[in-house]
Structure formats: structure tokens, C-alpha cells
Structure 1
């Protein structure tokens, strides 16, 4: 083969593929940055429309007017709105969003002390979701394959469909009543030991398990009808190998994708669940900071929550583009 022929085959393909992935990454990065900027702007404007004077709340309702005005000046609330906006962005970029009005602590110290509890709750929940949802979806796909056991399949789809749409806070209230108020089997609040994790994890996980198991079941039904699965069944391969070695690996891409997306939803869902169970994380802090119009803390927490969700979606897109490069070609 001549040098000219050698140069015309693989190298242009590699450049095209690399260039396509680079453009895909730039588009995703641009979308992430624009979304984050929109989130920061929404977080800044959010508390502006809520009635109440944070300066008055900070010094007390009976404080003299002079003290209220001095506090307003100290917090920068007497500055024009565009100046406050630029100061807010500057504080986020420099890592100094200010001090909490209600807690009288640096905002980053408050977040740093309570973020681990929220991430821990979300991580345990997503592990429970994957461990329960994947086998459940695969099991019901095997049961209902080829239209068999229609009543069982109907019962599963009905129950999982209902559970998938019930809000986490309703599940939390129901779990509190059944297991804490009525039967006293589990603690209702706090982060005091292994038993205290059960109810908040269940409140977050039940709906996610129902949703993910339905997705796994739908994907599994497609996989189980594939030609290579028919060939494996014709060879009388044991069921354990059939499902674990052949079916499960082909479900991992869709399963991990949805798990990452569900993780983002779980982190957002912890806001209300933490309030119900008095969980010492960021969710309960966010609710109280909005109620108190604690501008620096509430706005920064909204950015933290939204930023985590946006980052998860960005990482999922990038990982999928590496696992399945065809996704970048389809968007080109």
C-alpha cells in the first residue's frame, strides 16, 4: 500500500470522530454554563419577590429604625439591584457569598457542615434504588415475556405506575404516620443511628424504584427478544447465566443513565423529605433560610442544589458520549 493510500483511510476518520466528540463536549459545556448562569440569576431574583424585610428580620421586629437601616446598609440591601446582582455573582466566583443573616456564620461553613448529611442520604438512596429496581424490573420482564402471566404483569404495572407519581413528601408523611406515630417502630426525626435512615430513604426510594424498575423491564423485554438471546435459550443455557451474563450487561447503559438522572431528582427531593424527618442536611436549612429571607444562605443553597443537578446531567451526557459515540454523531 502506498503512502498516499495509507494516509487516506484511518487518519481522517480519527480526526472526524475526535472533532465530533470535541464539538459535542463544547456544546454540552456551553449548555451547562448557560444553564448555571440562568440558575444563578433565578436564585438572585427569587427572594426579591417574597414579602418581608431581611434587615428587619435580622435585628428583630421591635428594633429601632436606625438599627434597621444600618443593618440594611451592612448587608448591601440599599444598593441598586444590578449592583447587588454583580456582588452576588462575585461572591460565588470568589468563594465568599457572605454570612448567613439568621445563623451569623459564613455561608460556606453552614453548607460545609450540612452538605455531607444530604449527600449521604442521596447516595444511600440511589444504592437502594439500583439494588432493588434492577432485579425487580428484570424479574417481571422474565415473567411477562411473550405475553405470559398477564394478571401479574397488570398488577405490577398498575402498582409501580401509581408509586412512581406519588410525591416524596406524601410518602414521607404516610411513612411517619404508619411506622412512627401509629406503631412506634422507627424514629420519626433526626440522624441518630441506622434506624433513623430507614424512613427518609424509603420516602425517597419508593417512587424511584417504581420508575427505574419499569424502565429496566421495558429494556429487558427488548433484550430478551433479541436473536442472541433466542440462540442462548436454544442451547439450553441455565437461567442464571442467561439473565446475568447476557441480559444484564445489555441493560447497564440505560440503567446507569436513568440512575444518574434519578440521583439528580433525589437530591432535589431531599429538600422536603429532610424537613419532614428533621434531617440535619441542606434541605431543612434551605426551607428555613427562605422563610427567614436569609438572602446569602438561601440564594447560595439554591445555586448549590441546582448546580449539583446540572453537573450530574452534564457528566451523564459526557459519559454516554464515551460509551456510545453514535450519540455525538446523531446530534452533529
Structure 2
């Protein structure tokens, strides 16, 4: 059966190659696969390029050569490099990241126990940053549009720039000292009651919220100068309706793009913040594993962080394409 005798709708369904969405999705999927392969290869080479013997480092300098050799054979480190690489790839795709050279526990088990704490921390920080930045940027744009309130604009810009450049770990230390040690209002270590989330979430969210608020204000000012906003105002629509229905959706595109990129940095920022607050997540685990030279655990956590960043970027691209189909058409 040829498409020439089919109804137009069915013919369009068969001609998938003309669908820009399909091309967009195929390119994004191909890019993701290539990036994952590069990430896997880099993680595999990491354990072989680091100077020293990880087995010797894990067992200690007093371990006998026979014990070291037996452990290396058990881990398959004496096999040819290509064989180790193929076994590593096969293990990753089946969820087997190997075993810790220190504890002997499966790396996947360690990651599974620590990953929820990191996801909670990064997720809450992202929600707080977005929930604060979007309304703040919108309000500041409404207050300062047309060159009004220069003092408020200067104060907002200066404060957001300063907060955006302060490292997360420095914010974490300051927050822990002020609100935990000096004032005693909030706990500074561990993950338990809801109050234990406040300081680490703030340490991660303050910087991204400052960046998003500043970008959101600039985008909102540009949207408010568009013709369709002037038309909405000429129709004497309520200001709340003008901002929420007509202006905000158009200003969110750039904010959402930057928000997705900041979410990736939030995940990476958890490494230092978790260590400041003794948070039982992947960040504190990877630092401890580096100090112990437990490279299989480091390798597995690096893979999880890298894959998380890639998936977040893919999700942002898809959401932006849904909000603005022209972007998918242009790239398709």
C-alpha cells in the first residue's frame, strides 16, 4: 500500500520525516547518547589514569602483596583494558557499578541509599529559588519600568549581583554560624526534622534565586514594552491580568532556560553544602570516598551527577520546545 491512496491524515502520519518535532527529538536523543558515552568513557578512564594503585590505597601500605594481588584479581583490574571497559559498560547498563574497595559493598547500593537525600536537597532548593525569583523579578519590573524608582533598581541589582557571586559553601558556613551556632535557631548538621532542611536549602537557593530574579526582571521589562502589552493596557484590563496572563508567560522562556542550567549547578553545589551540614547524600559520600581513595564509589557517583545534568538539560530543551514550538522548528 502506498501513501498516494491513503487519506491525507494517514499520509501525513506516514511522512514522519517531515515532522520537525520528530527531527528535534531524534537530534536531542542522539546528542544525549553521545554525551552519555563520553561521560561513561571519562569515568572509566578516571580510575586508570589516577596515579597509584587504588587497591593498595584501600587495603593500606601494610597489606601483603598476595592480598593486594588477590583483591585486584577479584575486582578484575588485571584483565586487559578493553575487556575491563566492555565489562564496565555492560555493568552500568544493568545497574552494576562494581563494589567498593573499602567496604566491599555494591556501589549501586551506596548510591541508592544516598541519592534520595541529595535529590531532596537540590529539588527543594530549586523550588525555593524559582518561587522567590519569578515573583520578585516581576514585581521589580513593574516597580521600575520606564526608569522609575532608580534607587530601588540600584539596590535590587547590587544586592542580587553580590548574592549571586558568593559561593554556596561560604553561604553555608555563614548561615550555619549565624543561625545555628550564634542564635541556636536551627540545626546545623544531619537530616531529620523539617528544620534541618532550612539552612542547606537556603545555602543552595540564594545564589540561583538572585540570578533568576535579575534575569526575570530584565525579560519582564522587555515584554512590557511589546505592542501586545500596550494593546492589553489600552483595553483597560486589570493590571493583574496584564501581568499574569499576557506578560509573565512570554517572560518565562529565558528564565526557564537559565533555571534548567542552574538546576544542574545546584546538583553539583550539593557536594560542598552537604559536607558543611553533614548531610547524608552523595556529596558527602564522594568527598569521603576521595579521601579514602575508594575510586569505584567516586566513579559511580560521578556518573550519577553527570547523567543527572544531561537529563536536566534534555528536559529543559523539551519544555522550551513545548512552550515555544518555533525553537524546535528552527533546530529541526
Same fold by TM (over 0.5)? Answer: yes
1:76-155, aligned counterparts within 5 Å?
76-155=76-155
Structure 1 residue runs of 5 or longer lacking an equivalent are none
Q: What SS class does the counterpart of residue 278 from structure 2 fall into?
A: coil
Q: 1:73 to 1:27 in 2, by over 3 A?
A: same
C-alpha distance 144-13 of structure 1, shift in aligned 2 (>3 A) = farther
What RMSD, in angstroms, separates the aligned Cα atoms of the two structures?
2.5
| Counterpart Cα distance in 1 of 2:229 and 2:174 | 42
4+ runs deviating over 4 angstroms: 11-18
For residues 1-332 of structure 1, the aligned pairs below 5 Å read 15=15, 18-332=18-332
Write the deviation string for residues 231-270 of structure 1: whole angstroms up to 9, x where unpaired: 3333443332332232223233333333232222211211
Does the CA-based 8 Å contact 2:141-2:218 persist in structure 1? yes
Unaligned runs of 5+ in 2: none
Q: Distance in 1 between matches of 2:329 and 2:184?
A: 56
Which deviates more from structure 2 when the two are superposed, residues 44-53 or residues 207-216? 44-53
Taking structure 1 as reference, are residues 92 and 194 closer, same or farther at Cα in structure 2, changes over 3 Å only?
Answer: same
Deviation at 1:35, TM superposition (A): 0.8
Looking at structure 2, the residues matched to 13 and 44 of structure 1 have their Cα atoms a distance apart, in angstroms, of: 42
Q: Is the 8 A contact 1:47 1:293 kept in 2?
A: no
Q: Displacement, 1:76?
A: 1.9
Q: CA separation in 1, counterparts of 2:302 and 2:62?
A: 30
Helix, strand or coil for the counterpart of 2:188? coil
- Distance in 2, Cα, partners of 1:222 & 1:14: 42
CA contact (8 A) 2:216 2:252 kept: no
> Does the CA contact (< 8 Å) of 1:47 and 1:290 recur in 2?
no
Instruction: Measure the CA separation in 2 of the matches of 1:111 and 1:273.
Output: 18
1:18 deviation in Å?
4.7
Matches of 2:281 and 2:197, distance apart in 1: 13
Partners in 2 of 1:108 and 1:160 — Cα distance?
40
